Structure 1
Amino acid sequence: MFRAVTVGLVILATSLTLMAATVNKIVIKSNTAQNVSPDVVRAHILLVEGAAFSQEQLSKDIKSLYKTGQFDDVVAKAKQAQGDTIDVVFTITPKARINTIVLQGNEAFATKRLMKQLEQETNLPMDETQLSADLEALYAFYRGKGYNNINIEQKIETLEDTGDIRIVYLIEENGRAKTRGVDFIGNTVFSDRQLRAKMDTEVSWLGFMLPMGYYNESDFDSDQNAVTQAYLDAGYLDFKVIDVAAQHSKGGEKVFLTIKIDEGSPYTVAEVSITGNEAEDTAALQPFVSLAANQTYSRATERRDVDKVTAYYNSLGYMDSRVIARREPSQSDHTVSVVYQVLEGEQARIRNINIQGNRITKDHVIRRELRLQPGDLADASQVKTSKAALMNLGYFGSVEVHPRSTPEAGFKDLDVEVEETLTGQLLFGAGVSSTDSIVGTVEMSQTNFDLFGWPSFRGGGQRFRLRAEAGSSRSNFTLAFTEPWMFDRQLRFDTELWLRETSANREYDQRSIGNSYKLTRAMSTPFWRQSVGYRLEQIE
């Protein structure tokens, strides 16, 4: 009993000592032949020399290092140093890094072109998921070019001296064939020509002289689905593809395709009903349904009905609503009953809008383009429209807009994540013309300009352009500015200032200086605009 109490007191004393200690130094070791950058490790930990030691913070630092995805294992130990100080030792097993990526056996395509299909980069930790995706990307590229018998082996080699990884792709191209014929057996509703028109696979009539018409197996599989869809749109619910044959020529350079089908008989709609709708009466939904009794059934019409009813519910704030079309066919009389089952979900409004990723673009520039604002009904169609509006600005390489559930019933948050791209340009040009022996041009433009955003003058959603052109007999200077949201309204203001001088005329020189102003607003009719402007120009 006495011994147990003594051990417990020793452990407690040690723990209290560590809690009261300061960090003397941080030691970073690699558990393999690979080097571990101390700067990378220190950038992801909060413990530093001279600071108070915390076991809780050490645990957090270990988790932070794991989250980087660069390490397979992280072990940290706190060792007593001089006085009330301790040393923290990180022993790290780094993930194997990609040293080189090699392609062998590729003859039809240059290595540089194939490397563009790969996402895994050198000098980064090996990502097995990405390597698998890269292998599939190479297969997809070759098959897309008609190499259906392509064989690619991905080898992962470990370099003994450094422990790094060398990725080798061994490629067997095995040639490709051109489609010289697509025939159908059993078709009476559509002609061969009509069915071929629905396919991506094309017959290569000029293939003997042009690089076109190569047979692609994945495209041909999709083509069979397209043919099936054509028959379903015409009401042939029992349609099926019985057999597909691909006959290659003796040398393998040509392929002839034959598709044997069973059309069946067209189905007539017996009745159309709507179920599951509690918040909205059936009478309110009926105008959105085009499929009706005694019509020839059409899958395309059914899809449009589903989309229209779903859009109606979305406009009312039922963002999670779904509409499922269920068919009850009767083969005895070739009729089908269609039931539109509505899963309404919960009506919701937008609570908060959270924006991330905009290091340069101001929040209000993004918010004003959103078709949803706090308090609005959560309309899924407006989420898509908002995403398109942000992409159309040209400020972002990618935009994601996602609704997110909240603890507050009847409300959703809208998360907007953007990835900014370059919006500024500096162009230089030179040329020769009949009036000027040499013409030089310089132009500076910024499509995400901020007139009052000193010192970078970026992120305000305005447009700015400065252009100067000079030649032996003329010179032009232009300054243009656009504010797309004048007075925080969808009122675009454009102004331009110019100075043009020319001496091309033998009898006189001409000098023109001017300024223009224009206001433009969108009209209620889509794609229509209304503008009013003023132009002042002095010519000497």
Structure 2
Amino acid sequence: MKKIARAVNWGATQVRMGAVVALVGLGGVTLGAPAAHAQNFTFSNVVVEGNQRIETATILTYLGFGRGETVTAGQVNDAAQTIRQTGLFENVNVVPRGGTLVIQVEEFPTVNRITFEGNSRVRDAELGAVIRSQPRRVYSPAQAEADTAAITQVYADQGRVNATVTPRIIERSDNRVDLVFEVFEGGLTEVERISFVGNRSFGERRLRRVLETKQAGLLRALIGRDTFIADRVAFDQQVLTDFYQSRGYVDFQVQNVDVSLTRERDAYLITFNVQEGQKFEFGNVSVTSEVTGADPQVFEDALRLRTGVTYSPSLIDQDIARLERVALQQGLNFVRVDPRVTRNDRTLTLDVEFALVNGPRIFVERIDIEGNNTTLDRVIRSRFDVVEGDPFNPRQIRESAERIRSLGFFGNADVDAREGSSPDQVVIDVDVTEAPTGSLSFGGNFSTDNGFSLLARFNQRNFLGRGQALSFDLQAGAESRSLDFSFTEPRLLGRDLSFGLDLGYSTTDNQNAQFDTESGQFRPRIGFPVSENGRLTLFYSYDYTDIQDVADTASPFIQADEGAVGTNALGYSYSYDTRRTGLNPNAGVLFRFGQEFGTGDATYIETSAEITAQTRVLNEEVVLRATLEGGYLSYQDGNSRITDRYFLGSRTFRGFEPSGIGPRDINTGDALGGNAFAVARLEAEFPLGLPEEYGISGGVFLDYGSVWETGIDSMDIEYDDFTPRAIAGVSIFWDTPIGPLRFNFTEPLDVQPNDRTKNFDVTISTSF
């Protein structure tokens, strides 16, 4: 049969109105009836013509009347209209012929198959998932149009607003058709510019960094956030509001967002019209109680808010959580903390009164979890501080929802509460959508310290659905090879207690041709919180190191270290971090301190410490950071070997080659490392005036410190005492899809004659 392609308005053929047909075809039945009066008819027989798949009895059910009933012309017309509205027929005619009513129908064809043509950016399976037309079902022009709109929306969500979709049908035999969606994908319609109106306290560059939507830049082919998505812009409005309110602007509003297309329709222009308002600080902070047995002074001592601190809703939430925990510690259930804020426009302060009031007596009946096909229920339940039968606390539920989302196991996680079997019971519904949590990658790694190496990595953040982390890393380079295994159970015994095991094996020549090493490590660890911002980790470690094939030309101090040594050690590491929970959203402190007590072939104590402080200035455009880091090895039995001592690389002290600083054999020039090091790093990061979508910023830095003390008493070792060095430099930061890169250009200020400096290095940038 000859193929004929037709557009989907195939079903738009005009049909005669039933009432008109009735008036024209009732010649014998209506004789003598006044034209101005409605006609009544009685049909003794009903005949259906043209139907092939649809049963006659099915069509007759849509008439609304039966044989022998007296009906009006209007009822006949209504019956015809009802049959048309079923969507089963392309044409419907209802023709009265004397005492017989003839229903003439032309059925829509059956869809033989559905195909897509012209699509390359979106796969057929993805497009097929959004349409509702199906093979072996009746073809519907209305549904084909709806499917066209759905496919067009898929492309619009990817930033291709100029994409067009045309549905076509190809006739086949036996009243069948192929439905073809012809797609013209068009190009990406990017966000060309994001601007702000009404902002005085923060520049456009700073505000654009807050938004999820980004301007199109050099990396537009790799960055997906520079396309326009309406839902993302709506999210950006909330993010912008949170940003301002956390900085004291309680009256901030996004008045409207103007989104327009360029004349060529190839780019969007987005303008946020904002009203900042005044900046407020906290005034008087107090606690009052309406609860019997609650001492306000006890609760007030738990407050962290102080007068003069910049207002932020999150700080109020944090203190409410603290007061609720105090209430539980005092044995007071169903206590609600009601923050009552008094505004003082003259002083631009907000007085906060935390009122302890009696809340409703509601209990948690049960927790229902759905959608977790892989993740075990207990992993999700471990994020809740409440169990069945506990008093219901809405704040705890909200915090639990955030902890579930922070796991990173789910693409979406909704936590809602509804009334249970009685008004004083609540059922908590958890609905999650799981996301991929594992990865297998192969690639390469390059650094100016270690050169190029090949990498193979397996990582699973939700091993067997138990919430456990498991990873294997294999790295092989020209001068070193390593294999590392790590396992972490974050909720040991269902508590905030982490257990981990680290195994490592490596061989290396220590970046020189003087000797080779073979080493292995076994380290189980356990960690737990000791305060709101502090965490303590305890560990045991067994380390084995074998120094082999020492060259005859090597320093005698290195030759003396040849051989294998094994040590056992117990240690601890304490960290204190206020970067996310401090009173100032622009500043934070990170402090780490640890000690390791070793015994075996050598007895030693290793102490290490680091403190870093950061703040933002000049409307948060410039980041200032200061770090003080140091370590010390103290041996009571035996001496440190070259593999035990500190060697400062580019991450710790910039501007030097590997082993380029520290104690050195005067005769051979070999670096020996030191038992002690201390480095102070000062740096600033700032914009360069380039479009921020390029992800390029600049920085300056100053490093000052040294590594010293080999523990060897010899006149043949130079720089064995504290001999400070100073390095200054500039940095270029570049946020690329493969990771944040940092390019350092350095200039020595104070170095020693035998130090080995370098003027340039590339590292992976780390975030504070």
TM range (shorter): 0.3 to 0.5
Flag the structure with larger Rg. Answer: 2
TM-score by length of structure 1 reads 0.43
Larger relative helix fraction? 1
Higher strand share: 2
